A and B are shown apart, each in its own frame.
Chain A
């Protein structure tokens, strides 16, 4: 697969990854073995496979690996931008919105009490943003993003790749 197409699909996967890294409610997805980042890598492979010519041999293992890694890298950058934007633009307003949603939605019946405690703890222990926090966030995700993104890419390859049919052998002409 050409490099520019790998980058395009990785960017789509990276947007999903970035949303799950940087946006407050969606980021809970990553509390389950980085499911959001894995989803981004998986999605990049899914989109690449959908767009591939049926007559062509499809995507290769190395394409899937690259799609996963780059979606994680894009996701780390996009996620950090989302993270900073949310804190700068909405800041306390957004977190207050999440707090009021948690108190009004009567989630006590749906979520286990320990999960609710954890959510409230995270909302109450919020700290102001610093340049160090932003760089720490970015570097951490520049490591975790490609790692779990490539797992998503490989998982996508193993689940979605159709078994290849054997090529028709070229028979010699009849004497």
Chain B
């Protein structure tokens, strides 16, 4: 089966998202079998997440390498990227602003509720709004990324042809 370029790129993004999610899920799954790798992964994800234990999901009593909100954002994105593997989905185009605002708004509202103290977020609200953002954001980020990579590739091919 021969995949066209946009589906190949879409598949590459899905694999990247899968590896990223596997990385933050790994510490509790590794447990005591590979403490060095587990510690290394925790240190890697520490740069991009506060890793507060109370706000993290746990498996076998060990927290994931990122907090609950981050876990749901990345997992939502992975789920969206899986949907985009279906034929014709990843090459969508048009005005993505409405979708981006729809994706961001609930999560920003949840964060603002916590910062102002009016509506402190619960783990459920963090998971839901994060997952919603991650899932919907894949529907505009992946097509734009694929469009951008295709533009770059065609530009490079054109410049090589011009040079000849």
Contact with B along A12-37 (1 / 0, CB 8 A): 00000000000000000011111000
**Interface footprint category on B:** 20 to 34
Of the listed stretches A46-54, A60-68, A87-95, A96-104, name the one at the interface; the rest are far from the partner chain.
A60-68
**Distance to closest chain A CB from B14 (angstroms):** 15
Check if B148 sits within 8 Å of A114, measured CB to CB.
no
Partner of B151, one of A61, A114, A115, A148: A61
Check if A114 sits within 8 Å of B52, measured CB to CB.
yes
Check if B141 sits within 8 Å of A151, measured CB to CB.
yes
- Given A154-B141, A154-B148 in contact, is the A118-B97 Cβ separation under 8 Å? no
- Given A32-B50, A163-B95 in contact, is the A62-B151 Cβ separation under 8 Å? yes
Question: Which residues from A are CB-within-8-Å of B29?
Answer: none
- Given A140-B44, A159-B100 in contact, is the A154-B145 Cβ separation under 8 Å? yes
Q: Is the interface of B mostly helix, strand, loop or mixed?
A: helix
Check if A114 sits within 8 Å of B141, measured CB to CB.
no
Question: Which residues from B are CB-within-8-Å of A158?
Answer: 96-97, 99-100, 140-141, 144
B70 contacts chain A at the CB level, 8 A cutoff? yes
Question: Which residues from A are CB-within-8-Å of B140?
Answer: 154, 158
Q: CA–CA, A29 to B49, complex, Å?
A: 9
B101 contacts chain A at the CB level, 8 A cutoff? yes
Q: CA–CA, A158 to B52, complex, Å?
A: 31
Check if A30 sits within 8 Å of B100, measured CB to CB.
no
Check if B144 sits within 8 Å of A118, measured CB to CB.
no
Name which residue of chain A comes closest to B16, CB basis.
A147
Question: Which residues from B are CB-within-8-Å of A144?
Answer: 47-48
Q: CA–CA, A125 to B30, complex, Å?
A: 26
Question: Which residues from B are CB-within-8-Å of A141?
Answer: 47
Q: CA–CA, A49 to B124, complex, Å?
A: 37
B147 contacts chain A at the CB level, 8 A cutoff? yes
A interface with B by C-beta (< 8 Å): 30-34, 60-62, 64-66, 114-115, 118, 140-141, 144, 148, 150-151, 154-155, 157-159, 161, 163
Q: 10 tightest CB-CB pairs across the interface, nearest first?
A: A61-B148, A65-B148, A62-B151, A31-B50, A158-B96, A62-B148, A61-B147, A163-B95, A34-B48, A62-B152
